[in-house]
Amino acid sequence: MTTMAAMFGAVPLAIGFGEGAELRRPLGLTIVGGLLVSQLLTLYTTPVIYLYLDRFRLWVRRPWRIRRRQSADEGLLEPGE
């Protein structure tokens, strides 16, 4: 929402006419383009980073689960078997 408000606030700079518009138009285009690209990157990269972190968490926990299973299996065996 904040990005959209800032982008819409810079639209008059990007499409402005009149005296001095040739100096303000590149600034407006840069602001609008930068906000648009950063918003798209954020919307696509944030979920991907969360998925990778979740996979990393599961990968890190895996050895402990295997060790716990092995120790539980060893505890079920009777001595001498």
Question: What are the pLDDT digits (tens) for 57-69?
Answer: 998 888 767 666 6
Mean pLDDT, range 1-23, rounded to an integer: 88
pTM score of the predicted model: 0.59
* Angstrom distance (rounded) from CA 4 to CA 28: 14
Choose the weakest-confidence range: 18-22, 38-42, 49-53, 69-73.
69-73
* Angstrom distance (rounded) from CA 19 to CA 52: 51
Neighbour count for residue 14 (Cβ, 10 Å): 18
Q: How confident is the model at residue 74 (pLDDT cuts 50, 70, 90)?
A: low
- Contact partners, residue 24, CB within 8 Å, separation at least 6: 13, 16
* Contact assessment for residue 38 and residue 3, using Cβ atoms and an 8 Å cutoff: yes
